[in-house]
Amino acid sequence: MKKLIAVVVLAVVVIFAGCKKEEEQNFTTINVGAMLSLTGNWSTLGIPSKAAIEIAVEEINADFEARNVPFRFASSVYDTKLDTALAKTYMNDALNAGMRLIIGPQSSAEVGAIKSFADANKMLVVSQGSTASSLAIANDAIYRYCPGDAIEGSAIASSIYDEGKRGLIVVARDDAGNIGLQNSVKTAFDAKASTTVEYVTPYSTTTTDYTSLLNDIKTRITTLSATYGDTAVCVYLASFDEAVDIFNQANGDSLLQSVNWYGGDGFIKSNAILSSSAACDFAIATSYYAPEFGLPMSAQSKWQPLTAAILSRCGQQPDAYAIAAYDAMWVLARTVEANNGVPADAANLRNSFVAQTAQFSGATGPITLNANGDRGNGSFDYWGLQKVNGVYSWKFVKKSL
């Protein structure tokens, strides 16, 4: 009799466990691809973006479980290194693995390289870092959760002008995002009274010796200084981490250090420069600063703990671009929930994503997308370099006008 009771109890336990297991697995997992630079240029955005997405996935899954929403999320991260060929390869890999929702790539060159593939395969791509105006296209698969180069270019051009600069030399790396910034800054500064802009032909992405570039800049500094004086002349450099090499080669040159230098969002809070005293010294000598997409105080209760969590997880301080990747993950999840899955029709998927974005106020605040699917609002925080007690670090300089 005892054996019979034991068998019955065991059977009940097994049945209960089986039912519980079925209940626990009664959901569909949606895998989201993340195209990030983890070991290449601009990894200072890629690494915190990875952490931000992971945190968002954990929070979303806990929320969906609590509300019995029948979906869970996972992220598959691809290290693109800002390489357009890798980005294209990984997009194909992601699609073959069943992924149609993508966060990233973070650079405009990569976004441009994968755009036609995403359009053709009914995918939805949300970049947290691409700014190029050339990619501002309506009704395509690309959405961008950061302000475009026209907004950023206008902001820093106004700040430069407000500091009394009238002669500006614009320099850029030869890729879509940085050329877009170069052109936007030029256009915005050109539109102001009594100004001259010297446009330098973009340097190759494979350049390692910047002697010719720096000599060209020096010639233009001399020309503009004859008209405006040294204090009214400056250089704007749109780059990625190769700015460290440029600053290294420029350090100690009295003419290059006689004017102020400014930068684009691709070289902000970079860890690469902190290990180069020569590059840091040049940045400090020229009062260099660059813009970071700013986080609104109205959303501080959301981004402040998130920032701390990302820093704890990956050891790097996130900026607003990385926080935008967190918001993108949440809006993708809400889109899936609203449609009881990922809509098969591309137009339905994109329209729903836009609608969910409009209803969402996240860690970067409300997100207003323009007709091209790009963030149409935003202000900027300017960051420069400092040396305190022999230690170099980035410091907040001021906010955009």
Supply the pLDDT for residue 3.
Answer: 47
Closest CA to 153 of 196, 184, 198: 184
Domain with CATH 3.40.50.2300 in the chain: 28-147+298-379, 150-295+381-399
Is the pLDDT at 21 greater than 70? The verdict is no
Supply the pLDDT for residue 162.
Answer: 98
Is the pLDDT at 99 greater than 60? The verdict is yes
Contact 372, 136 (CB under 8 A): yes
Q: Hey, how many other C-beta atoms are within 10 angstroms of the C-beta on 339?
A: 16
Rounded CA-CA distance 308/322 in Å is 13
Is the pLDDT at 109 greater than 80? The verdict is yes
Supply the pLDDT for residue 394.
Answer: 97
216-228 per-position pLDDT tens digit: 999 999 999 999 9
Q: Hey, how many other C-beta atoms are within 10 angstroms of the C-beta on 377?
A: 13
More confident residue, 401 or 7: 401
303-333 per-position pLDDT tens digit: 999 999 999 999 999 999 999 999 999 999 9
CATH code assigned to 150-295+381-399: 3.40.50.2300
pTM metric for this prediction: 0.87
Rounded CA-CA distance 93/87 in Å is 10
350-398 per-position pLDDT tens digit: 999 999 999 999 999 999 999 999 999 888 999 999 999 999 999 999 9
Q: Is 230 exposed, middle or buried (0-12, 13-18, 19+ CB in 10 A)?
A: middle
Confidence of residue 16 (pLDDT cuts 50, 70, 90): very low
Is the pLDDT at 5 greater than 50? The verdict is no
Q: Structure tokens of 24?
A: 């626990």
∠ Cα 350 55 331 (to 5°)? 20
Is the pLDDT at 20 greater than 90? The verdict is no
Confidence of residue 7 (pLDDT cuts 50, 70, 90): very low
Rounded CA-CA distance 286/282 in Å is 6
Supply the pLDDT for residue 25.
Answer: 67
Is the pLDDT at 124 greater than 50? The verdict is yes
138-153 per-position pLDDT tens digit: 999 999 999 999 999 9
Is the pLDDT at 15 greater than 90? The verdict is no
Averaged confidence pLDDT in the chain: 94
Average pLDDT estimate for 229-252? 97
Confidence of residue 229 (pLDDT cuts 50, 70, 90): very high
Provide the H-helix boundaries in 25-144.
43-66, 84-96, 108-120
Supply the pLDDT for residue 378.
Answer: 84
Q: Under CATH, to which class is 28-147+298-379 assigned?
A: alpha beta
Handedness of CA 87, 112, 296, 158 (dihedral sign): positive
Supply the pLDDT for residue 6.
Answer: 46
Contact 365, 295 (CB under 8 A): yes
Is the pLDDT at 40 greater than 60? The verdict is yes
Supply the pLDDT for residue 11.
Answer: 44
Supply the pLDDT for residue 127.
Answer: 98
Handedness of CA 92, 93, 94, 95 (dihedral sign): positive
Is the pLDDT at 9 greater than 90? The verdict is no
